[in-house]
Structure 1
Amino acid sequence: MSSILIRSIQLLLSISILVVVHELGHFILAQVFKVRVERFFLFFDPWFSLVKKKIGHTIYGIGWLPLGGYVKISGMIMDNKSEIQTQNWEFRSKSGIKRLLIISGGIIFNILLSILIFTFLLFKHGETFLPTKNVKYGIEVDDLGEKIGLKNGDKILFVNDKYVPYFNDIPKAIILGNSITIDRMGNIIKLSLSDNKKKFLFDRKEFNFFIKPRVPPIINYVIKNSEAEKYGLKNNDEILAINSEFVLFSDQLKDLLSKYKNENILISINRNGSLIQKEIFVNPKGILGIYLKDFMDLDQIFLFDKKNYTFYESIPHGIKKTWNVLKNQIFFFKNVFHIETKAYKQIGSFFSIAKEFPSKWNWDIFWTLTATLSIWLAFLNLFPIPSLDGGYILFIMIEMITKKKINEEIIERCTIYGFIIISLVMMFIIIWDIFKVFFS
């Protein structure tokens, strides 16, 4: 099965779960307050539906257009106000607070789903942290890290003048922050993080870590039929030198291999305490055919903090994780409107979301992404735009505050205009995403 198909299936399953849970929130609260739901659909069904069945007062079905879903609640908008009397099972017959809860049901359920998923993941796996103080060799940076002013070997002391206890939180703190204080070979330097610099972090074609702990060059595994296998390199060999140049860290090895492209080199390695030297050819791309260990593979060098939780302990941590994801999304959304940061380039449609899923099925990653998308869906639905939940919430709150009913023709027109605006925005994002994926 191709990686594209696997990613597509994961995306479709994730969206289906999110839509069903969201609409279930509206449905259940409508049932609680004895309001009829006429239709409950996964995906939209213009002109025809794939499956539908009427049970009681509700038609349940699956549409053919996988861009969302909906529930049709009786009496949200009167078809003919002058001739039809309001029934006690209609939405409009209920008090403001009941209507508010029914409309908020989807948002509430998406938040609860995110908390539930993160809670179970934390209960199952716990959390593993690398204390910043244990990053003994400093950091290794890629070209993005270099563009914001960092260098290999820098030790990060503070972000925004605050000490970050765990290295896992430093990349996020840098993106959110305004300054980094580093120790560079004994010199204390404070780097500013202007929008001009942050644009490099947002203007990424794919997600990657721009900093990671610096590690010694130890082989994780040797690729089959590679030059490394041919010349007898083995897993767990530690590379000590290339020709006469000592190698202490992985980034130094990469630089040296790039220097000796298409040449034979003398490589010195430590194999279980024995010094071994081998002559080996470096191909034109500067590749030997090995994967090096990263910091997660070197727990004998880096001391990690592992936290395990009971189920009840994992609940508040699940809530905290949901809140942190939401805060990050709010921060990103704010930066979208700062043209200098180029955060708008990270906006994407289903194509971009699908790329975040792994090419091989991994349930932990699947559920983590689903939890993240769930809180994102809740956040977007809070926007006070007619046709979104937030638009209806705004109308209901105005009525509750003013004690006056808003003209239903105004609500209906605003809803139509809101739907048109959202549809145009979605079309623009899809076209933009297609351009990024296929033409950028």
Structure 2
Amino acid sequence: MGSIIIKLIQLLLSISILIVIHELGHFILAQIFKVRVERFFLFFDPWFSIFKKKIGHTTYGIGWLPLGGYIKISGIIKDEKTFLKSSEKNWDFRSKSAIKRLLIISGGIIFNILLSVFIFSCFLFNNGEECLPTKNIKYGIEVDSLGRKIGFKNGDKIIFVNNKYVPYFNDLPKEILLGNSVTVNRMGKIIKISLNNKKKFFFDRKKISFFIKPRVPPIINYVVKNSQAEKYGLKNNDEILAINSKLIVFSDQLRDFFLSKNYKNKDVIVSVNRNGKFLQKKISLDSEGVLGILLKDFTDLNYIFPFQKKKYSFFESIFHGMKKSLDVLKNQIFFLKNIFHVETKAYKQVGSFFSMAKEFPSEWDWNVFFTLTATLSIWLAFLNLLPIPSLDGGYILFILIEIIIGKKINEKIIDQCTIIGFITISLIMITIIIWDIFKIFIY
């Protein structure tokens, strides 16, 4: 229960930051062009608000419904009672030029983009970046069930993606996801794996996760307390060499060995290398048929897989922060495109706030928190850029049309389109929430 609360608090804080920054973008641009802002609210406030205070011409407040936030700009929505009076005043939104109105409406999108770039740039400037060169993956890759469906096998060495060399392993999953083909070295034989018609495999699973990782030797990272491994003397950092007469070279071979045979309540002979000494342990397995060990991952084996540490100057960190935000945006556009292709089953990954909450760790981690916030910020900017009435993109579209044709669009058309857009967006949000709840029971 505690972990769920921590996840929800992180989600609420992240959403609050995104809303405030987005609305602050509109607010600041409105102030620059001397347009009056009547209300600035975090969360919606139908019927009542948790807090509100009027300062100058603006009422600031916090609503009780955490599904978004808003600012009310004077004159952006026509009020029959006051519009004739206010339209002649220079603080009214509709009295401003099309360019100024365009910038005010774009302010939220601009600020969300800047927030994403700022967070990524700060991380890169302060911490640099650790990357694993592809050339250091000396034993090839280990794959999960998704990797096998795509056509990979344990031990494959990736040479090219889309006929291009990818210098860092960190970028391989993304390049494969966006690519059309992968060239691998499989035990000395060069094989080209087509990714066409395989995109559905990326999305047809409960959670998007890495499907390839460096293949590693079976070295014990942790012996589970009160397990058979502890009872019979296996220790951390022991390297498993063989089980019975079966030679074990890699971690995936050890897992496959135990999966392929039933060793419940049976004896096995485990051969290990302990600091250069060869040892054998006869272990009686319990009713579960497991040793009770956790193996080292490639991140624990820096002496085998040396990482390359990149440090960035102030301006380099900004450039790479922009690049990182752009990469996130590309992934999101790719995902959105696939949602509309039923055969990819990408719709299974569509989610609401419930799905977002799952992405946050069960223990507070500021690095993960800000990384997810930066990712959600660029996603929010992209969604608001869509030319749908009631979203920022809808207003931007109307203003651009006005600039092109040289005259204002009929206000009744804009108002009607905005109402239709709002109803449509609301129905989509309700559908996504219902779908997200439904997924809990069917997946």
TM-score (norm 2): 0.97
> After alignment, is 73-82 or 184-193 more displaced?
73-82
The one-letter amino acid paired with 1:329 is Q
The one-letter amino acid paired with 1:319 is M
User: Secondary structure of 2:229's partner?
Assistant: helix
* Match among 147, 150, 159 for residue 149 of structure 2: 147
Q: Which residue of 2 aligns with 1:71?
A: 71
Does residue 400 (structure 1) correspond to residue 403 (structure 2)? The answer is yes
User: Secondary structure of 1:204's partner?
Assistant: coil
With over 3 angstroms needed to count, the CA separation of the structure-2 counterparts of 1:182 and 1:267, relative to structure 1, is same
Q: Which residue of 2 aligns with 1:309?
A: 312
With over 3 angstroms needed to count, the CA separation of the structure-2 counterparts of 1:297 and 1:387, relative to structure 1, is same
The one-letter amino acid paired with 2:205 is R
1:121 is displaced (CA, Å) by 0.9
1:284 is displaced (CA, Å) by 4.5
Please say if residues 202 and 208 of structure 2, whose CA atoms lie closer than 8 Å, have aligned partners that are also in contact.
no
Does residue 100 (structure 1) correspond to residue 102 (structure 2)? The answer is yes
1:313 is displaced (CA, Å) by 2.3
Does residue 347 (structure 1) correspond to residue 346 (structure 2)? The answer is no
With over 3 angstroms needed to count, the CA separation of the structure-2 counterparts of 1:408 and 1:339, relative to structure 1, is same
> After alignment, is 399-408 or 39-48 more displaced?
399-408
Q: Which residue of 2 aligns with 1:204?
A: 205
Cα distance in structure 1, aligned partners of 2:430 and 2:363: 30
* Match among 391, 398, 416 for residue 388 of structure 1: 391
Cα distance in structure 2, aligned partners of 1:82 and 1:398: 23
The percentage of aligned residue pairs carrying the same residue is: 72
Please say if residues 52 and 60 of structure 1, whose CA atoms lie closer than 8 Å, have aligned partners that are also in contact.
yes
Q: Which residue of 2 aligns with 1:231?
A: 232
Q: Which residue of 1 aligns with 2:20?
A: 20
Please say if residues 218 and 236 of structure 1, whose CA atoms lie closer than 8 Å, have aligned partners that are also in contact.
yes
The one-letter amino acid paired with 1:424 is L
Give the length in aligned residue pairs: 439
With over 3 angstroms needed to count, the CA separation of the structure-2 counterparts of 1:85 and 1:208, relative to structure 1, is closer
Cα distance in structure 1, aligned partners of 2:362 and 2:290: 24
Cα distance in structure 2, aligned partners of 1:82 and 1:198: 52
Q: Which residue of 1 aligns with 2:178?
A: 176
The one-letter amino acid paired with 2:410 is N
**Unaligned regions of 5+ residues in structure 2, if any?**
none
**Unaligned regions of 5+ residues in structure 1, if any?**
none
User: Secondary structure of 1:361's partner?
Assistant: coil
With over 3 angstroms needed to count, the CA separation of the structure-2 counterparts of 1:312 and 1:83, relative to structure 1, is closer
The one-letter amino acid paired with 2:157 is K
Cα distance in structure 1, aligned partners of 2:289 and 2:160: 36
Residues 190-233 of structure 1, C-alpha deviation per residue, up to 9 Å, x if partnerless?
Answer: 111123x2211111201321110100000111122222222221
Q: How does 1:394-433 map to 2 (within 5 A)?
A: 394-433=397-436
Cα distance in structure 1, aligned partners of 2:92 and 2:19: 23
Q: How does 1:4-403 map to 2 (within 5 A)?
A: 4-80=4-80, 83-86=84-87, 87-195=89-197, 197-258=198-259, 259-262=261-264, 263-403=266-406
With over 3 angstroms needed to count, the CA separation of the structure-2 counterparts of 1:337 and 1:260, relative to structure 1, is same
1:260 is displaced (CA, Å) by 4.3
RMSD: 1.3
User: Secondary structure of 1:5's partner?
Assistant: helix
Cα distance in structure 2, aligned partners of 1:231 and 1:326: 52
The one-letter amino acid paired with 1:200 is F
1:83 is displaced (CA, Å) by 4.2
Please say if residues 260 and 282 of structure 1, whose CA atoms lie closer than 8 Å, have aligned partners that are also in contact.
no
User: Secondary structure of 2:29's partner?
Assistant: helix
